[in-house]
Amino acid sequence: MSKEKVVLAYSGGLDTTAIIPWLKETFGYDVVCCCIDCGQGEELDGLDERAKLSGASRLYIENIVDEFAEDFIMPCVKAGAVYENAYLLGTSMARPAIAKKLVEIARKEGAVAICHGATGKGNDQIRFELGIKALAPDIKIIAPWRMTDLWTMQSREDEIEYCKAHGIDLPFDTKHSYSRDRNLWHISHEGLELEDPSVEPNYDDLLVLSVAPEKAPDEPEYVTMTFEAGVPKTINGKEMKVADIITELNKLGGKHGIGIVDIVENRVVGMKSRGVYETPGGTILMAAHQQLEELILDRATYEVKKEMGNQLAQVVYEGKWFTPLCEAIRAFVDVTQQYVTGEVKFKLYKGNIIKAGETSPYSLYSESLASFTTGDMYDHHDADGFITLFGLPLKVRAMKMQELSKENQK
């Protein structure tokens, strides 16, 4: 009789490597590893050997970079979705994309369970599990770090010893470094000095994609981008797919110290955590998109879209990608993007993105209306009646307060 299968979200790191023999020993499962490449840039060579040596029956390496860029990143860019005014959702957007692929592999393999190595304190456990529940409610979810009666390892040293005891002697070390998560969109850093909010980040050791703004070039660099229906199409005249545009913007942004954010954020599980995010290309793309959008969206739509962008950021941060609400917000945003087409120019200089002009065939900006000369469409006298009506509630209330004040003085 064949064993039941479990699909393990596998990174090749110490945690998920130790989980392989633990799953076999604890549950008797046949372990199928799945490493999902969202553009993390890590060396994937040797993962197959490591997974097999650790006892996995099979390893899938799935490249979802284009799907991640087009189906997960771009809806958030179009919406201007930013969590707590600073975090551009790099990890949050990737988790539902990974969950979707894990479910696909589980279905293909006929697995009864999916296992992830996220801790019981973070947001990722929620994002993985809400995605799996929404797409495959019948599949069991295993989270070793929350199963403290069965998962007894508490440190890297424990995990290394456990691996060695099971014949897995791999080049893992016990030194503690930053906890990082990298993909096409960003890299996050937690741990070490960042655990104390009073301490300045050690940027010389910490930064991976970028340089600190003070170490960026002393000359600004001009960049021109075009968009069609809210989607970036070219950089400096060169047409590229979305994933390649983000990669190119990462190089440009990293060079000029763009998009380094130090934030104390509110996790879904109720605690505050401090992290540093590098999102050089994403910061530029969001700014360029907004720069163009300012020309095109009317005031009322723009106001509601800002609210929807904040709502989407909250929804995505909380792992609720595969929900009717998320789908409805994205549908609203797509309608607003129909005419977000045109060209933007800006310059990058020491951590800053400085506007240098924008054009669009759908621009609502009218030079004759905006100028101080009087044109046919705008009669200054019309403002009299408008202000009278617009200010009527304020005037009525002020008159009432005056009246009450006089009565009280009698």
Measured CA to CA, the distance from residue 127 to residue 148 in angstroms comes to 21
Q: What predicted TM-score, i.e. pTM, was given to this entire model? A: 0.95
> Was domain 5-165 assigned CATH 3.40.50.800?
no
For 335-348, letters b (16+ CB in 10 Å) and e give ebbebbbbbbbbeb
Query: Positive or negative, the Cα torsion across 367, 373, 374, 378?
Result: positive
Q: Catalytic residue numbers?
A: 15, 95, 124, 179
pLDDT of residue 1: 66
Show me where the domains of the chain are located: 5-165, 179-297+340-359, 375-405
| pLDDT tens digit sequence for 180-189 | 999 999 999 9
> Up-side HSE of residue 181: CA atoms within 13 Å toward CB?
19
Residue-averaged pLDDT of the chain: 95
Please determine, for residue 377, whether its predicted confidence score (pLDDT) is greater than 90: no
Asked if the domains 5-165 and 179-297+340-359 are classified in one and the same CATH topology, the answer is no
H or E segment to which residue 345 belongs: strand 342-349
Q: pLDDT digits over 35-76, tens only?
A: 999 998 766 778 888 899 999 999 999 999 999 999 999 999
Q: Given a cut of 90, is residue 32 above it in pLDDT?
A: yes
- Give CATH for domain 179-297+340-359: 3.90.1260.10
Cα–Cα dist 253/226, whole Å: 17
**What's the whole-number mean pLDDT along residues 192-204?**
96
Give CA–CA dist 409/343, Å, rounded: 63
| Helix intervals (H) in 148-235 | 156-165, 203-206
Question: pLDDT tens digits for 266-304?
Answer: 999 999 999 999 999 999 999 999 999 999 999 999 999
Collapse the DSSP code of 305 into the 3-class scheme (helix H, G, I; strand E, B; otherwise coil) and give the result: helix
